[in-house]
Amino acid sequence: MKTIDFNAEASLYLGRDWRTALEQGSRRFPSAAKAIRFALEEVPPVSLHGARMIVDGRSYSPRDLQKLYGDRAYPLHRKADRDAILIEPFND
């Protein structure tokens, strides 16, 4: 997986598919860590299927978001159990 600066600004696109996410536009976050937390703790799972997060010009898929949220380097407190994160499968 790509490396990431969890403190870098992030744009998060959400939707049932990429086209819908793109049409709805992005939400800006002061850090990638906060964007990841929002996506995995607040967003309905259906809206993650078309999700993409852009950080420093790199694109991260829904599966990438799950892996980053579960990574030991993730800097924020998690609502979810780290070992239960990869339950919802995503097709990248």
Residue at 4 is within a domain: no
Q: How many residues does the chain have?
A: 92
Quote the pTM value.
0.83
pLDDT tens-digit readout, 16-36:
998 999 899 999 999 999 999
- Examine residue 17 and state whether it is found in any structural domain, yes or no: yes
* Tokens 């996410």, located at residue: 21
Rounded percentage of the chain residues whose pLDDT exceeds 70: 84
Q: Which domain, by its residues, includes 68?
A: 10-77
What is the number of structural domains in the chain? 1
| pLDDT at site 81 | 61
DSSP states of 15-69: SSSHHHHHHH-EEEES-HHHHHHHHHHTS-GGGGTT-EEEETTEEE-HHHHHHHH
Summarised one tens digit per residue, pLDDT across range 34-62 is 999 999 999 998 999 999 999 999 999 99
Residue 16 located in a structural domain: yes
The structure tokens 């159990």 sit at 81
